[in-house]
Amino acid sequence: MYFGFDNISVQYGKKRVLSDINAEFPRGEIITIIGQNGCGKSSLLKTVPRAVKPSKGRVVFEDKSLDTYNRKAIAQKIAYLPQVHSPPSDIDVRTLVSYGRYPHARFGRGMTRADADIIDEALELTGLTALRYRILSTLSGGERQRAWIAMTITQQPQILILDEPTTYLDVSYQLEVLELIRGLNKKLGITIIMVLHDLNMAARYSDKLYVIKNAACVLKGAPRDVLTRLVLRDVFEIDAEIFEDKTNGCPYFIPIKIKERSI
């Protein structure tokens, strides 16, 4: 297995959040995990940077448990971007992006010319070159998120994991960020694994959708096969109308009403 979850269970106190999750992520694809609030999709992603410790099971990378790698070695291969950030208030874009080189840094040796080139490349790729000396907190939400993504690019990862990268963003910024993520996948071949709230965005930008419901992974497949009336009804508890977005070649839905609950 290239990368995936092997029988992972997560427990917070007595509450079982995830039970026996098995999922494999093929190299080079964009996979989005969807599910209702509190279904444990973020917790699942957090097992990768060990922010959440699974009560059972393991994260697998290149056929070995992630625990057998040291943390810097992981950080050179797998980047993770949390949903909420709390950076120092006066940090500028380029300084933030440069921290992505941390896992590659050797003790007692500063930034090299090569590091600087990688940082500038990441800035170019995320369209931040003109903004590189700006203070992060003075940028728009979309620009800020691009800066964080640029930081993960300088890690030069094979896999990029993003926990709701479009939260709190206006729709134009959502598109901006997701276009960027798709670009990274196409141009650099980075495998993308993310959690998204907006199902239409998920359907539009993902190769595959994984659906989590009742602490288990209940469905995997191409957006066309997952975004169906039946799934929306059973998993997301809405009655919806499905349409075809001809411009972008993907399905989308309009919620009609909340599913009537049998009382």
Partner 1 sequence: MTVRNALKTQSAVGGRNTNGRYARKLVIIASLAAASFLSVVVCVGIGTVRFSFGEALKALFVDDGGMARLLVWNLRFPRILTAGLVGVCLSLSGCILQGVMRNNLASPSTIGVTSGASFVGYLTLVAFPALYYLLPIGSIAGAFITTMLIYALAYQKGVSPVKMILSGLAVSALFGALNDIIKTFFSSELGNASGFLVGGLNGVVWKDFSMVAPYALVGIFICFLLPAKMNVLMLGDETANSLGLKTERFRFFLILISSLLSGAAIAVAGLISFVGLVVPHIARLLVGSDYRFLFPTSVFLGFVLVTVCDTIGRVIMPPGEIPVSIILAFIGAPFFLYLLRTRQKD
Which stretches of the chain bind partner 1, using CB under 8 A? 46, 48-51, 70-76, 78-82, 85-92, 94-96, 99-100, 102-103, 105, 108, 130-134, 138-139, 155
Q: Is residue 227 within 8 Å of 209, Cβ to Cβ? A: yes
In the complex, the smallest distance separating the C-beta of residue 82 from partner 1, rounded to whole angstroms, is: 4
Distances (CA, A) of 229 to 60, 165, 197, 207, 233: 33, 26, 18, 19, 6
- Is 82 or 221 the residue whose CB approaches partner 1 more closely? 82
Minimum CB–partner distance for residue 234 and partner 1 (Å): 32
Q: Which is nearer to partner 1, 13 or 108 (CB)?
A: 108
CB of 133 to partner 1, least distance (A): 3
User: CB of 62 within 8 A of CB of 73?
Assistant: no
| Residue number with CB closer to partner 1 (59 or 199) | 59
CA-CA-CA-CA dihedral for 162, 167, 169, 173, to nearest 10: 30
- Given the complex with partner 1, which of 46 and 146 has the nearer CB atom? 46
Interatomic CA distance for residues 100 and 168, integer angstroms: 24
Cα(237)–Cα(258) distance, rounded to whole angstroms? 6
- At closest approach, how far in Å is the CB of 109 from partner 1? 10
Residue 89, token pair as written in the block:
């208030």
User: DSSP labels for 60-83?
Assistant: EETTEEGGGS-HHHHHHHEEEE-S
Question: Residue 94 or residue 204: which is nearer to partner 1 going by CB?
Answer: 94
Least distance in angstroms from the C-beta of 134 to partner 1: 4
